[in-house]
Amino acid sequence: MIELQQLTKVFPNGRGIFDVTFTVRQGEVFGFLGPNGAGKSTTIRHLLGFLKPTKGRAFIHGFDCWRESVRVKALVGYLPGEIAFPEGMTGMELLDLLAGMRRMKTTRYRDELIERLQLDTRLPIRKMSKGTKQKVGLVAALMHNPEVIILDEPTSGLDPLMQQTFIDLLREEKQKGKTIFLSSHIFPEIERTCDRVAIMKDGRLMAVNDVHELQSMQRKLFDVMLSREEEVAQLLSSPLEVIHHDGRRVCIAVQGDYNAFIRELAQYQVQNLDLRTQSLEDIFMHYYDRRGDEQ
Amino acid sequence: MNVSLYKQMLKAQTKTIIGYSTGSAFYIVLVAAIYPSLADSKIINHYLQQLPSGFLKAFNITGMGNLLEFIAGEYYGLLFLLLGSIYCITAANQLLARPIDRGSMAYLLATPNSRQTIAFTQALVLLTGLAAIILTSAAAGFAADAWLVTNDALHQKRFLAINVSGFLLFFAISGYSFFFCAIANDEKRALSLSGGITVLFYSFDLIGKLTEKAEWLRYGSIFAAFEPGAIAQGQAEWLPSCLLLAIGVISYTAGIVTFSKRDLPL
């Protein structure tokens, strides 16, 4: 459905994206993961025809994203990464404008979305909070029932409850057979929604993996607080990978084998257990760097 | 053109357009209302005769002979230029440069409309506003003539010609402003380019009129193509107006074409 062939864009400052090639299949939820500045948005801007590739091409449904951009955009719903709306409008005026520009005939699905996201469309956009603006953007991206949905950092600004609503929405769209392409710099966000994931770093595509594969590759860090000081030494000599320890608190890295971890811990008096939030680099980049060194 | 976009953008511009239109209309009425009291004043005429001719020419004051010459000198010679130029530069900026700079253009471009369509629609909104301002000014002139000044009728045909010529001047100015907005990534840069060039043109025209030695400077100025005083005296020339039309058409076309082909930082 979405096809990138050696897509390359070199900006005057030498940065950009280089030889990005991958395919998103129809009906798939495809995650696009990478730290800020990795080239995710640049890639997405090519899909919308905002940028002309230096080399290579991008297609959606067989249409060239630069040369046949109008046909592409008839199929696509897009949520930009930066929230900036035209000035001086209420939410509803903007949605009406975009519906008019899309020559939409029915607003039934749009009204349903507004209802579900609990969006007050009467507010002038400049008075809306970041999360509310994001909802307006989401409605604008989904309201015309597009075949392909492209979302650049969709959950930024949404509170956890709304994030869940959003994930439910995506699942429904997937069930309708939509192709969904979404970018993020947060793995858990991708993990919950996507089937496959592409990882970008410094403008290059590092890998395209099945999300389950990635989950098994992921190294999680647990902070274990033991009740008894004397057990610390015992835990340190266990086969678990201990990153560091400080008094009764021990930090343990687990990759894939959660059962061994749980079995070992069952022998101790555990007072508290915490999962450490890690940056994307901590989770994956070490893996790719290592693999890169081996090659 | 996209009708929905046109309507919404025009609606967003309405307040500004009404502001400029009423301002312009009000000033014309004011000038027309003052005229009868000044027309017969010997002191003023005497005073005007004593001023250097270059100075009078510089501000398009050809005389106080009749109502039209007075309006042409007092309004179309200076304030009209200022008002129209500011509208052209700021409106072009709001309609094109700002949406590119702030990123809201992404929403418009995400709809299945070509960039040409969108740029053309924005240009049309800009020109609609301009037409509205000039039409209101002309209407105000005619109304003032009908109700306020009874003893000295306005030369209607020439007054109309001044307005048409004025529209063409701003068609050209808005044209190059639109072009700069289409090529710039940054709102401020677009504003400084179109504002800077306009100020430069105006200074060329002013210096050229003030000093005879530097009269050649006027050939480099777009403002030299608009001479309300000369039109008021019946010395209208067609060539400069045609040039303005050509500059406008070329720069709007160039703006739309460039906008359609460039990388957008959205």
Q: Which of A45, A74, A82 sits opposite B112 (nearest CB)?
A: A74
Contacts of B104 in chain A (CB under 8 A): 84-87
Beta bridge partners of A149: A77, A180
- Strands, E assignment, A227-269: 241-246, 249-255
* Calpha distance A89→A87 (Å, rounded): 6
pLDDT value for B61: 67
How far is the alpha carbon of A53 from chain B, nearest alpha carbon, in Å? 9
- Structural domains of chain A, with CATH: 2-215 (3.40.50.300), 218-294 (3.30.70.250)
pLDDT value for A235: 82
* B108 Cβ under 8 Å from any chain A Cβ: yes
**Cβ-defined contact of A97 to B8 (cutoff 8 Å):** yes
pLDDT value for A286: 62
Contacts of B109 in chain A (CB under 8 A): 48-50, 73
* Calpha distance B220→A174 (Å, rounded): 62
SS3 of A104, please?
coil
pLDDT value for A255: 81
Instruction: Choose between A51 and B44: higher pLDDT.
Output: A51
Tokens encoding A61: 């449904």
Name every residue in A having a CB less than 8 A away from some CB of B.
Answer: 45, 48-52, 69-71, 73-74, 76-78, 80, 82, 84-89, 93-94, 96-102, 140-141
**Cβ-defined contact of A82 to B103 (cutoff 8 Å):** yes
Residues A205-216: pLDDT tens digits? 988 888 888 777
**Cβ-defined contact of B106 to A86 (cutoff 8 Å):** no
∠A26-A27-A28 over CA atoms, to 5°?
A: 95
Residues B200-235: pLDDT tens digits? 999 999 888 888 888 888 888 999 999 888 888 888
Confidence of residue B64 (pLDDT cuts 50, 70, 90): low
Q: Which of A211, A80, A253, A219 is nearest to A152 (CA)?
A: A80
Q: Tokens 């369509």: give the residue.
A: B117
Which whole number is the average pLDDT over A277-284?
67
Between A178-192, A232-246, B44-58, the lowest mean confidence (pLDDT) is in B44-58
Q: What one-character DSSP code corresponds to residue B216?
A: G
Instruction: Choose between B100 and B155: higher pLDDT.
Output: B100
Q: Which of A4, A120, A117, A121 is nearest to A53 (CA)?
A: A4
Instruction: Choose between B117 and B47: higher pLDDT.
Output: B117
Q: Which of B12, B98, B111 sits opposite A73 (nearest CB)?
A: B111
* Calpha distance B200→A285 (Å, rounded): 55
* Calpha distance A92→B219 (Å, rounded): 50
- Strands, E assignment, chain A: 2-10, 16-24, 29-33, 55-60, 63-64, 76-79, 148-152, 179-184, 196-201, 204-210, 219-226, 241-246, 249-255, 270-275
> Is A66:A52 a contact under the CB 8 Å cutoff?
yes
Residues A114-160: pLDDT tens digits? 998 889 999 999 899 888 898 999 999 999 999 999 999 888 778 88
pLDDT value for A192: 81
Instruction: Choose between A172 and A162: higher pLDDT.
Output: A172
List % helix, strand, coil for chain B (3-state, nearest 5).
80, 0, 20
Domain range summary for chain B, segments of one domain joined by +: 3-261
**Cβ-defined contact of B5 to A74 (cutoff 8 Å):** no
Q: Which of A10, A50, A103, A126 should one mutate to test binding to chain B, selecting the residue with the greatest count of B CBs within 10 A?
A: A50
**Cβ-defined contact of B112 to A78 (cutoff 8 Å):** no
**Cβ-defined contact of B110 to A89 (cutoff 8 Å):** no
Q: Tokens 């008075």: give the residue.
A: A127
Does the pLDDT of residue A258 top 80, yes or no?
A: yes
